[in-house]
Structure 1
Amino acid sequence: MEGLSRIDITFYGRGGQGAVTAAQVLAEAAIHSGLFASAFPEYGAERRGAPVRAYVRVANQYLGIREPIEKPDVSVVFDTRLIDVFNITKITKPNGTIVINSSEDYAKQMLSQFNGKVVYVDAYGISMKYLGKAIVNTPMLGALLRVIGMINIEVVKELIRNTFRGRIGQLNAEAIDEAYKLARVIP
């Protein structure tokens, strides 16, 4: 990478969905890949189900910035009901990307409100298949990795397997793989 190459990513979820963990894993994977990264959460009321934002900056040079991301290059939305809460179609950079946990029909509807790329994946279905719970962070990481290309999926899966040992780690790695393969861009 010549010069500064940087991507600002904001995860939007609800308490208990794993948005903060996803941001931390992504930042750690970036560092393991030889990049610079920072991740930090922003909570409202600290309770399960409350809206949560987690910010990640990834760059090829040290940035030293520790402030919330106001205009993300990529918005990762775990729950479509948060799109209006955070005004995501307006705050994501024009020509940026919104990665959503949704159906194709919903993603097409989103595209009419946003001048950029919309990527969708059924993270809920994938998490239920592999984990038996609606914790969508690992499938959403898989979809995000498909889009950004700066971080190798194998690095993320290894970190997940080390974070969640045994069968749970392996199932989460498989959920990442499936979401990576199934994520689709609405043209």
Structure 2
Amino acid sequence: MSGKPKLHYFNGRGRMESIRWLLAAAGVEFEECFLETKDDLTKLQKDGSLLFQQVPMVEIDGMKMAQSRAIGNYIAAKYNLYGKDLKERALIDMYVEAIIDLNELLMTHPFQPADKKEQHFATIVDKATNRYFPVYEKSFKARISNIPTIKKFLQPGSQRKPPLQEKDVPKLMKIFH
């Protein structure tokens, strides 16, 4: 299969956004197939497309890949974005795992009960400020943002998704529950 990778997910960031970033960094165009209803998800589950019955799922090189880290590792290795040696790959993995940890906090915030939102937000701010952001210093952000393929992905009109808003939660609940 030599066509564009096809991404199956809802029309939002979530666990697919890091995959979009990797493809953008590699300069690879991709298609997206958005899940709009519970039936869209059920169809993929019933036709055997989802190894673990969940998304994200990416069709690439004749495979239907599930699990965001496995997909990310495959894309990074395929497009030479996964370091030049074992030590570089370990460093990349550490940065990736930290982003996944922070992303999990961010993704769960809209789903917190109203009486827990303020404390959850305080936890996010504390961990982001004191644990994660110091590692990703401004010069790192500037270097990454100036890579031509990333710069293009950051421009309006790209396939980058906006952050999840609370108004979007009911729609996602209908798809995934």
TM-score by length of 2: 0.30
- The structure, 1 or 2, with the larger RCO (C-alpha pairs under 8 Å, 6+ apart) is 2
Larger radius of gyration: 2
Going by fraction, where is helix more abundant, 1 or 2?
2
Going by fraction, where is strand more abundant, 1 or 2?
1
TM-score by length of 1: 0.29
